[in-house]
Amino acid sequence: MTSIPLFPLNTVLYPDGYLPLQIFEVRYLDMIRKCIMGEQPFGVVQLLDGAEVRKPGQQEALAPVGTLARIVDWAAPLSGLLQIKCMGMQRFHIVSSEQLKHGLWMAHVETLPADKTIPIPQEQQNVADALGALIRTLQEQKIPPDQMPLQPPYRLDECGW
């Protein structure tokens, strides 16, 4: 069992997924700085109730499963603002969690096994083909790789991806 800081969001991060974030709340600026310095991941977990930006008296409810996020790039364009780019790693289950007095969530988590690699069934091949066409279109438009909504490797032959 591992203890990690959590970043609750109104979105989810999947293994091998790409997530750019702008960090401006003090609780998360400190957390991200520590993760960068220690080369440690943090947990992205879906926010089931409450808002992403902390408000007085707000209660937050977290999904029981999240994904470890690895910071692959970061910049500090202004004082009090961090821009980070993350990649999803392994999914985890929250065993226990607590919100610290300054608002940061910490959790004891257990990692979950990776999904099985399953080929695309014939009836879903059109979805994979459409995604491949979208990736090619973005590449043809010369979208910089770091600004692409999906990051390689593109595994268009796998259901889970």
> Band of the pLDDT at 153, cuts 50, 70, 90?
confident
Do 139 and 100 lie in one domain? The reply is: no
Which residues make beta-bridge pairs with 88? 69
For residue 50, pLDDT over 80 is answered with no
Which residues make beta-bridge pairs with 43? 6, 68
Do 122 and 105 lie in one domain? The reply is: no
Give CA–CA dist 138/40, Å, rounded. Answer: 32
Residues 159/123, Cβ–Cβ less than 8 Å: no
Domain residue limits at 159 = 115-161
pLDDT digits (tens, 9 = 90+) for 106-122: 999 999 998 888 999 99
pLDDT of residue 79: 87
- The CATH number that applies at residue 149 is 1.10.4060.10
Predicted model pTM: 0.81
For residue 80, pLDDT over 90 is answered with no
The share of the chain scoring above pLDDT 70, in percent, equals 95
Give CA–CA dist 99/56, Å, rounded. Answer: 14
Residue 80's region, left for phi above 0, alpha for psi from -120 to 50, else beta, is left
pLDDT of residue 31: 94
Which residues make beta-bridge pairs with 109? 2, 94
For residue 125, pLDDT over 90 is answered with yes
Do 124 and 55 lie in one domain? The reply is: no
Do 76 and 122 lie in one domain? The reply is: no
For residue 39, pLDDT over 90 is answered with yes
Give CA–CA dist 109/88, Å, rounded. Answer: 16
Do 35 and 74 lie in one domain? The reply is: yes
Do 29 and 80 lie in one domain? The reply is: yes
For residue 155, pLDDT over 90 is answered with no
Do 39 and 25 lie in one domain? The reply is: yes
Indicate the residue among 91, 111, 131 that finishes a domain: 111
Coil vs helix vs strand at 38:
helix
Average pLDDT of the chain to the nearest whole number: 89
Q: How many domains does the chain have?
A: 2
Give CA–CA dist 104/30, Å, rounded. Answer: 10
Do 82 and 13 lie in one domain? The reply is: yes
Do 156 and 126 lie in one domain? The reply is: yes
Q: What is the mean pLDDT of residues 24-49?
A: 93
